[in-house]
Amino acid sequence: MTETQTPIDATPLPWQALAWARFQSSAEAGRIPHALLLGGPAGIGKTVLARAMVARLLCQQPAEGAACGVCRDCRLRLAGSHPDLQMIEPAAGGSGILKIESARELTEFSHRTSQHDSLRIAVLSPAEAMNRHTANALLKTLEEPPEGMILILVSHQPGRLSATIRSRCQHYRLGVPPQSEAVAWLRMQGVTAPEALLEFAGGSPLTARDLANDSGVGRFDALADDLAAIIGQRRSPVEVAMEWRPVGALETTRLMQRLAIQLMRGSIDARRRLSGYPGYERLQTQLTVERLSRIQTDLLALRDAAEQPLSRELSIEALFLIWSRP
């Protein structure tokens, strides 16, 4: 990266222009509130926007509203070692919950003195993954905000946050971008067949990009093939669940929900059915709209349980059992 280049994580995505302009206006006027809530579907770039906000707020010499990328604070941030920035996220490979350790991190950080005479910023993502201890620590910080501290909450499901927490944040309500804009961006990322990937991703461009990078459509098709085998009584739900156990209950739930949405689209409008994916095509022919509707309802009911630190095997078994019911 040359000195004239803007760091990639300091750049909002094209469809975030309105949200970024709103933030820029507040920043230039010195009216950034002590808590921001970025809410919207997964995979639309909320964390990208949060990082761009962080970069702008910590930079010592922003140029045209963007972080310079070369000042002391920018260098520390890019190195992942800025003392006045705390990223609070679930542990990799864990239950997906922001646990008591996250509450301690937030409490300690909120009482810390700024190391570089700058703002202190904590980013919690995804905010709806907080357990009771973390939510209580957050609420205390929101009710008595320390001088010079800003909280940025990133949430895929802001409605799951308590009304008290939401009321103390300035909201940025973000949605999926227009398909044409998402497709153009995906093509710039070198993604082939972006339209099909966007269908699988429910219109979320970053999810579609990750599917392309990780051969994720193949995973979707493998899941569809396993579900078709369950419905056709060629395999048992318990047997299939054991194979998906390493993926985890939370990720399996998300995969199933995306797949169910795409199957419902194809059931309602045959023109939206995807071709070239044998497992998906087989599963599509086995499910009626009514059965898919029941499956979606049952998946939603189990989602909260899958996001709790329960028995991973039991949760996954329950997910696959849903598809075996007539």
Give me the pLDDT at residue 312, please: 47
**Residue that is written with structure tokens 């309602």 in the block:** 268
Which amino acid would we find at residue 246?
A: P
- Eight-state DSSP code of residue 71: S
Give me the pLDDT at residue 249, please: 80
Token pair of 199, please? Answer: 């269908």
pLDDT digits (tens, 9 = 90+) for 97-108: 777 677 788 888
DSSP one-letter string for 131-167: -HHHHHHHHHHHHSPPTTEEEEEEES-GGGS-HHHHH
pLDDT digits (tens, 9 = 90+) for 7-43: 446 789 999 999 999 999 999 999 999 999 999 999 9
Does domain 8-173 bear CATH number 3.90.1150.10?
A: no
Kindly give the residue spans of alpha helices, DSSP state H, lying in the chain.
17-28, 46-58, 72-78, 100-110, 132-143, 163-167, 179-188, 194-200, 205-213, 216-231, 237-244, 249-268, 278-286, 289-306, 312-324
How far apart, in whole angstroms, are the C-alpha atoms of residue 49 and residue 47? 5
pLDDT band at 94 (very low <50, low <70, confident <90, very high): low
**Domain segments of the chain as ranges:** 8-173, 215-324
Could you tell me the strand order of the sheet in which 149-155 lies? 85-88, 120-124, 149-155, 35-39, 170-173
pLDDT digits (tens, 9 = 90+) for 60-88: 888 887 899 999 999 999 999 999 999 98
pLDDT digits (tens, 9 = 90+) for 165-192: 999 999 999 999 999 999 999 999 998 8
Which amino acid would we find at residue 165?
A: I
Task: Find the Cα–Cα–Cα–Cα dihedral 96, 101, 107, 112, rounded to 10°.
Answer: -110
